[in-house]
Amino acid sequence: MAPPASSGIEEEIAVDRDGYDSSNATKTVCVMDASGHFASALVRRLLLRGYTELTAEVETMAAHNVLEACAQTNTVDKVVFTSSLTAVVWSNHRDNPTSHDFDERNWSDVNLCKKFKLWHGLSKTLAEKTAWALAMDRGISMVSINGGLVMGPDVTISNPYLKGAAEMYEDGVMASVDLRFYVDAHICVFEDVSSYGRYLCFNHVINCNEDAMKLARMLLPPSDTSTPPLSFEDTRVHPQRISNKKLNKLMVNFDGKFQADCSAD
C-alpha cells in the first residue's frame, strides 16, 4: 500500500497497521501519526540475503530518511522506533560481571561489533543512534523499543539476532519476547504520554540449560536430526544481567493480555 500523499514518506516506505516484523530480521521503523497509521521502513530485498556490514549502512540511511520524513509531516504525533537488544548488549561492559545490569543506558560498541562481525548489532546500533540524533535535532517526539529475540511463528535458527547467542547466554543477556507482548509494548509506549527514551522489551531470559535446549528445539525444524537431546547434566543458572524494569513500570496498568514475567532485581 502506498503512503498517504500528505505523509512525505518516500516511495520505498510501505504503510501498514502492523508496524513490526516478527522475525526481527527486517528493518522496521514504526511511526504512528494522528490518523492512526503505522509507517514501516522495510529494507527487505537486501536483508533477505542476510545481515552484512553493508546492511548497517542501508539501515542507517533508512532510519535517517524516515525520521526526516516525519519531521516534515505535521500529522505525526509520536515516533515509536523498533530497535533490538543487540543495540544494547555488545560492549566491553559484558566482560565485567561485577558491573551493573544492562539497561536503557547501555549501547553496543560499534568497534566490537565490527571486530566480531556482529552485523545485526552493528546495524541496530547505528540505525537507532541516527534516529535519536535526528529526533533530538528536529524536535521529534520519539521512543524506542529494544526487543529481544521475537518469538513469532516464523522464527528459525537462521535469525540474525542469534549470532553470538552462546555468549549472550553465558552473560545472562539472552532474552526473548513473545510477539503478542511485543505488540502490546509498542501500543503502550505510543499511547502513554509519560513514555520517554528507550525501553528494553523482553519477557523471558534464557539462562539455564533446560531453557536453552527448549529454545534450540523451537528454532530447529522438527525433521532436523541435529536437534540436541535434553540434558540435565549442566545445572548452572547464569545470573540475569539485563533489566526491563522501566518497561514493566510503564505497563503495570496497561490493559494488555501479556505482561513481562522476568525483571532483574
- For 205, the 3-state DSSP assignment is strand
**Rounded Cα–Cα distance for residues 64 and 39 (Å):** 14
Q: Which residue has the cell 503505522?
A: 38
Helix, strand, coil % in the chain, rounded to nearest 5: 35, 15, 45
Q: Which residue has the cell 539462562?
A: 207
Backbone angles phi, psi at 92, to 5 degrees: -65, -15
Catalytic residues: 124
Could you tell me where the DSSP H helices lie in the chain?
A: 44-47, 53-71, 110-115, 119-138, 165-171, 179-191, 209-219, 245-251
Tell me if 170 sits within 8 A of 60, measured CB to CB: no
- Which bin fits 59, alpha (ψ -120 to 50), beta or left (φ > 0)? alpha
H or E element at residue 31: strand 29-33
Total Cβ atoms within 10 A of residue 137: 10
